[in-house]
């Protein structure tokens, strides 16, 4: 059984000019490796009632909120389109067509 990933919170700070806020989050390589492994295993694993289709870092969803894209109100195709439009396919955790 795989262990649950550690939650990594995003950080907010003022930039050196004190006029803008910088949003950042350190994402370890293991995050991308785990997503890639899940994507690889997705076609051979049973789907069940719930299926994870992506793992998106908080700082990305925070930016989307600031841009007016509410991930909790958007449709699954819209979220996948947003991921693909930003060339962020490494957030996807499945190869299945949902």
End-to-end CA distance of the chain: 25
Q: One digit per residue, pLDDT tens: the chain, 98 residues?
A: 455 555 566 666 677 777 777 777 788 889 899 999 998 988 887 777 777 889 998 888 988 998 999 999 999 999 999 999 999 999 999 888 76
The answer to whether 45 and 94 are in contact (CB under 8 A) is: no
Q: So what's the pLDDT on residue 70?
A: 95
pTM over 0.85, yes/no: no
Going from N- to C-terminal start, the domains of the chain cover 28-91
| 39 token code pair | 């994507």
């Amino acid at each position: 059984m795989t262990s649950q990933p550690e939650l990594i919170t995003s950080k907010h700070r003022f930039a050196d000019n004190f006029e803008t806020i910088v949003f950042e989050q350190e994402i370890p390589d293991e995050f991308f490796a785990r997503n890639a492994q899940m994507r690889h295993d997705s076609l051979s694993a049973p789907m069940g009632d719930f299926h994870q289709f992506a793992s998106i870092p908080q700082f990305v969803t925070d930016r989307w909120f600031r841009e007016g894209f509410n991930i909790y109100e958007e449709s699954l195709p819209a979220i996948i389109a947003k991921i693909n439009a930003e060339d962020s396919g490494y957030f996807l955790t499945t190869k299945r067509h949902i």
